[in-house]
Structure 1
């Protein structure tokens, strides 16, 4: 038998505030409300505050933490003071409609659903997520995947202007399909096998460097360096690579490639260079793969439709006659 505690507000014409099932915690929350302490009990801020302290630090991916923290800062001012019954389908659709960054708004609603369902498990609310079972109604903002083809010309223009670190990163990403975070953190290979544990998904994979055109030279160059770490990629002075370091060298190389295209009066190529970002090397890996099946396996996707939608990989078919 489970006992649920509530703060009775019927005399005020307000809905009762759920206090959970733990008696001591219920008394504490009752005291906060009854004695007019700063009130977060019964509002989404209670869940935001606890989730931020108890759950967010448990994520191992730095990028996931940063993304969730950013999304929480955005939705907090809008929903923090709301009680659970005040957040319904029209209100979250209204938020998405008013949001100028449409795709980012979808990410923020995904986080809100994660926190909401966590709160249900903690007894902070009994109400289901308002959009539960609404997947087919397409209630979120429509997203258009970013289409970018990294041609040989585009790749070589950037590669020619990059320093050795940037070139190594480009080679590693296009050879393996690794995300940038994984390129930075992957360890030196053992017995000619490069072991990846993907930071985003936790999936593991081994790459035989001997069947690669670029990895053996990269590894040999790294072994000849004096460093204070075990990562495959390294700065020229033997230090660990950071996103900031890579961004600096990438921006510098792209600007130099852009200037050369401008001097050649190639406006279309200038636009392509400006659109190119370093994470597009993962797209190039998909393009270089033998087809949709190989691209999906290389990028470690469970669903080939994801590979096709976001990375432009297509099935290569043989005509029957």
Structure 2
């Protein structure tokens, strides 16, 4: 029985106590009669927990989705909404789990349940951890975060470098809309979501002003060289449409490119490029649009150094660029 303590006195007689816990520990004497002591213990336990609310993970998830999720970037909202759905399913089987009863072993079980998709498993662990810390801040629980000490899966680093031949093959097979998007993503080194958000209002005083959606990092990219040529070409193409659109990535009708349209056009171009260039088919099939950000980092690092690559990608630390984006390998000279 939780909180029920028995102590043998010097006289040999046993006395019983109710341990209220806390620091310093507080105990209430229950007397030497075991039956009466148990009755008093039951009454005190009931009184101690009277009116105490039991918060479940489902209650936390509902409030988190309502108050916290809308403050995040749209792309993050979309991903985490799906993650929270998975967490809801896991922590409500067979009944909604009380937050105070979620232990480290349950986080391990969550990882095991999603072991076939380790990237997703690790992300679910991160999302749960933030949700639980938020629950602590809201007063839903005072328990330690059960994620503490539980290791996620070790993931292999993506090593794909898109060389110029592969880039050109997909580029040539794509529509003009896709080509513009590929040029902007590569020349600016930005994520696909940030590329799709680029518009005329960001072109200020000879620079493209970027505020990254994921991190909030701000940078200004000089409008010069190939980027200046691409922006002129985009402006000319947009001028040919009756519909005025401020977006820099527009489809064949002059409307803003959506994430879905970009994906479909890229996949179609990649498929066509593989047929046209069978010797490059495997490399082409392995290409993701997101790899253009890593290509931008590698190509910039090779010509202007790793710090320049980190600056272009909006990283505060060169280490981040080195760990996650530089895939080509440093170019060095031989011993002799």
TM bracket (short chain): 0.7 to 0.9
2:314 to 300, 308, 316: 300
CA 1:76–1:182 in structure 2 vs 1: closer, same or farther (change >3 Å)?
Answer: same
CA 1:45–1:14 in structure 2 vs 1: closer, same or farther (change >3 Å)?
Answer: farther
Instruction: Give the whole-Å Cα distance in 2 for the aligned partners of 1:159 and 1:239.
Output: 21
Q: What are the within-5 Å matches in structure 2 for residues 151-170 of structure 1? A: 151-170=163-182
Instruction: Give the whole-Å Cα distance in 2 for the aligned partners of 1:78 and 1:54.
Output: 22
Instruction: Give the whole-Å Cα distance in 1 for the aligned partners of 2:230 and 2:79.
Output: 35
Contact in 1 for aligned 2:218/2:314 (Cα 8 Å): no
Q: Does 1:240 align with 2:240?
A: no
Question: Equivalent residue of 2:226, what SS?
Answer: coil
Q: Which residue of 2 aligns with 1:3?
A: none
Instruction: Give the whole-Å Cα distance in 2 for the aligned partners of 1:193 and 1:102.
Output: 40
Deviation at 1:253, TM superposition (A): 0.8
Q: Which residue of 2 aligns with 1:7?
A: none
1:197 to 211, 218, 226: 211
Q: Which residue of 2 aligns with 1:283?
A: 294
Q: Does 1:121 align with 2:137?
A: yes
Deviation at 1:200, TM superposition (A): 0.8
Number of corresponding residues = 282
Computed over aligned residues only, the root mean square deviation of the Cα atoms, in angstroms, reads 2.6
Q: What are the within-5 Å matches in structure 2 for residues 72-87 of structure 1? A: 72-80=84-92, 81-87=96-102
Instruction: Give the whole-Å Cα distance in 2 for the aligned partners of 1:92 and 1:16.
Output: 30
Q: Does 1:92 align with 2:113?
A: no
Contact in 2 for aligned 1:229/1:239 (Cα 8 Å): yes
Deviation at 1:220, TM superposition (A): 4.2
Question: Equivalent residue of 1:213, what SS?
Answer: helix
Question: Equivalent residue of 2:204, what SS?
Answer: coil
Question: Equivalent residue of 1:127, what SS?
Answer: coil
Instruction: Give the whole-Å Cα distance in 2 for the aligned partners of 1:243 and 1:186.
Output: 13
Q: Which residue of 1 aligns with 2:272?
A: 256
Contact in 2 for aligned 1:222/1:234 (Cα 8 Å): no
Tell me which structure has the larger Cα radius of gyration. Answer: 2
Q: TM-score when scaled to structure 2?
A: 0.76
Instruction: Give the whole-Å Cα distance in 1 for the aligned partners of 2:153 and 2:105.
Output: 14
Q: TM-score when scaled to structure 1?
A: 0.80
Q: Which residue of 1 aligns with 2:81?
A: 69
Structure 2 gap segments, 5+ residues each: 1-41
Structure 1 gap segments, 5+ residues each: 1-9, 20-25, 30-40
Q: Which residue of 2 aligns with 1:110?
A: 126
Contact in 2 for aligned 1:161/1:257 (Cα 8 Å): yes
Q: Which residue of 1 aligns with 2:24?
A: none
Question: Equivalent residue of 1:289, what SS?
Answer: helix
